[in-house]
Amino acid sequence: MRTHIEFKQIGVIASKEFWDRIRNRWVLAVAVIFTVFALVIAYFGAAQQGTVGFRGMDVTIASLVSLVIYLVPLIALILGYDAIVGERERGSLELLLSMPITHFELLMGKFVGLAGALAFSTLAGFGLAGVLLSYQLGPTALYHYVGFMLSAILLGMAFLSIAVMVSVMASDRMRASGMAIGLWFFYVLVYDLLLLGILVLSQKRFSLSFFPVLLYLNPADIFRILNVFGFEEVRKLYGLATVLPATLASPWLLGSAMVMWIVAPLGIAVWRFK
Amino acid sequence: MAYNVIEVRGAVKHFGETHAVDGVDLTVQAGELFGLIGHNGAGKTTLFKMMLGLLPVTRGEIYIDGQPVRGEAFRQVRRGIGYLPESLALYDNLSGLEVMLFFAKLKDADPRSCLPLLEKVGLANAARRRVRGYSKGMRQRLGFAQALLGSPRLLFLDEPTNGLDPQGIREFYQILRELREQGVTAILTSHILAEIQLRVDRLALMRTGKIQALGTVHSLREELNLPLDFQLTLQPGAEEALRQALANQPAASVQFNGTMAHVRCPRERKMTMLNALAALDSVVLDLHIKEPSLEDVFLGYSDATA
């Protein structure tokens, strides 16, 4: 027997999750971290080369990309890993599900609320930094910076979706946190090294045809390519990203792949949660 | 005319090899106050969860208010159900009133009913305090208030008096009585049998996933034919006189504890026993006839099965 979706119920759960993060200052803390890091990188990123000050948007975004690839997935995984398993372990899940709400609505409400908090803190944090830097930005730079912020939000949502999936599958919070940290290690630290290792070992035999596809299997790489491919100077800095042919580097294609990274884990989570 | 609010037909729930609920048939009528008792692990909570649609049945059918416990129609039925789980977890970071408002939104209940309900359960003064600072009893009261949101027609209360003090327990049953007069049906579990024996209309005794006995407390007593307990206060040194008076009562047994004596005899021998004791009016200072309690019934069924 099918039940229709009541969006109001999704809204009630999402609103609670969002305001919980506002009340406990989670959003504020993350926004401050993003602002401070963005400003420090923008002004002091070239200190090692003996210069201090804003060096242009392309180089700043390239530095911010590295920061975001480390920070945003970690924050998203921490934010979402106990969304369901935490409720289950505390005993509140049973009471929630006794209400006129379906498993799907509860899960979507959780995701939407947490994604809202993450998006809000990302926009507020990097947005404030953008405002402070705006007097030095031209329209093109501003366009790239807005694109960077939006892609950072998508990256966060992809890892949040993975975290919610982990939260549904894990039997307890301890395992869920272990799985979340493990996934962060894999996607952020290990995956690219693994690709490079395979590339070297295979003596570039499969690189040109298969290698670009493998980059699509990691949302962090998709984010990197999205932000790096637009800048000629920065593209040269990233050896790994430049193996991608221009056809596979279309922002729409990359954006769609990122959306798939949001939808697929969430779909698995919904299926398992039911 | 009374109708069946709850209908359970051959409900089975297996967790792997464990048969948590094993072929339960049960009906609860509208306006009834129904008790579900049993040992730990007897299957009470699992049956509760199945009736609430929180656990799917392995086999069998469950209908609440005429609807199967799944699908869109059951979502509407759920709006008229209040549930107080055994392991109650509310949101520590919210105030009592905010918890109520959150659940009111989920249940489509009138948000203006939140404060009056908190007043009803004695939490008016703590309504704006965070739940983190609530005692166990206050949390339980809040959980009960939450279950009353949306004027439910059916209440599922799993160990509802957990953590309540005697005053709280009395107030809880007072509210339940008032609701029953308004036609609300309630099904509750409790380990404190003395507490529910005078309050429930009917009860079911569960054991290893099955319903072992079902009926009123009185009918279960009758079914087991448990002996009556005559509690006597004797003058010092009257033990021998009592033994002699009971010599012609082969079905009776006696135990002494100082000047107290407990004489047990079958219910049908009650008048004969009273006549025998009447002859001892000079040495019997006081007499009290104790009916078997629900605990005796519970243990009686346990012994019968063992």
Question: Which tens digit of pLDDT belongs to each residue from B90-147?
Answer: 899 999 999 999 999 999 999 999 999 999 999 999 999 999 999 999 999 999 999 9
Model pLDDT, residue B153: 94
List, for residues B61-100, the tens digit of each pLDDT value.
999 999 999 888 899 899 999 999 988 888 999 999 999 9
**Residues with Cβ within 8 Å of residue A151, at least 6 apart in sequence:** A223, A226, A227, A255, A258
Per-residue pLDDT tens digits for B157-166: 999 998 899 9
The reply to whether B208 and B241 lie within a common domain is no
Q: What is the pLDDT of residues B145-204, one digit of tens each?
A: 999 999 999 999 999 998 899 999 999 999 999 999 999 999 999 888 888 888 899 999
- The pLDDT score that the predictor gives to residue A138 is 79
Q: How far apart are the first and last CA of chain A?
A: 13
CATH, residue B282? 3.30.70.260
**Number of domains present in the structure of chain B:** 2
**Are residue B128 and residue B270 in the same domain, yes or no?**
no
Half-sphere exposure for A120 (CA within 13 Å, toward CB): 16
Within this chain, do residues B167 and B69 fall inside the same structural domain, yes or no?
A: yes
Q: Which domain CATH number covers B202?
A: 3.40.50.300
Give tens-digit pLDDT for B249-302: 777 888 888 889 999 888 888 888 888 888 888 888 899 988 888 888 888 877
Sheet holding B260-265, edge to edge: B253-257, B260-265, B228-234, B284-290
Q: Please count the helices (runs of H) and the strands (runs of E) in chain B.
A: 11, 14
A interface mutation test: which of B50, B102, B106 has the most A CBs within 10 A? Answer: B106
Q: Note whether B166 and B259 are same-domain residues.
A: no
Co-location of B240 and B213 in the same domain: no
Q: Which of B71, B78, B106 sits opposite A1 (nearest CB)?
A: B71
- Do residues B179 and B94 share a domain? yes
Put simply, the answer to whether B107 touches A99 (Cβ < 8 Å) is yes
Together in a domain, B127 and B252: no
Per-residue pLDDT of chain A (274 residues; tens, 9 = 90+): 567 899 999 999 999 999 999 988 988 999 999 999 888 888 877 666 667 777 777 778 888 888 899 999 999 999 999 999 999 998 899 999 999 999 999 999 999 999 999 999 999 999 998 888 877 777 888 888 898 999 999 999 999 999 999 999 999 999 999 999 999 999 999 998 888 888 788 776 665 667 778 888 999 999 988 887 666 656 666 655 556 666 677 888 889 999 999 999 999 999 999 8
Same domain, residue pair B60 and B204: yes
pLDDT at B58: 93
Cα separation, A45 vs A129, in Å, equals 15
Distance from the B126 Cα atom to the nearest Cα atom in chain A, whole angstroms? 20
ipTM score for this prediction: 0.87
In a domain, B305, yes or no: no
For a pLDDT cut of 90, what percent of chain B falls above it?
A: 56
Å between A91 CA and nearest CA of chain B:
5
A91 contacts B89? CB cut-off 8 A: yes
What pLDDT does A48 receive? 65
Range of the domain at B279: 226-296
Residue % of chain B over a pLDDT of 70: 99
| pLDDT given for residue A237 in this prediction | 60
User: Within a domain: residue B124?
Assistant: yes
Nearest CB to B70 within list A1, A92, A96: A1
Print burial letters for A91-112: b (CB count within 10 Å at least 16), e (below 16): ebbbbbbbbbbbbbbbbbbbbb
User: Residue B21 pairs with which residues in a beta bridge?
Assistant: B13
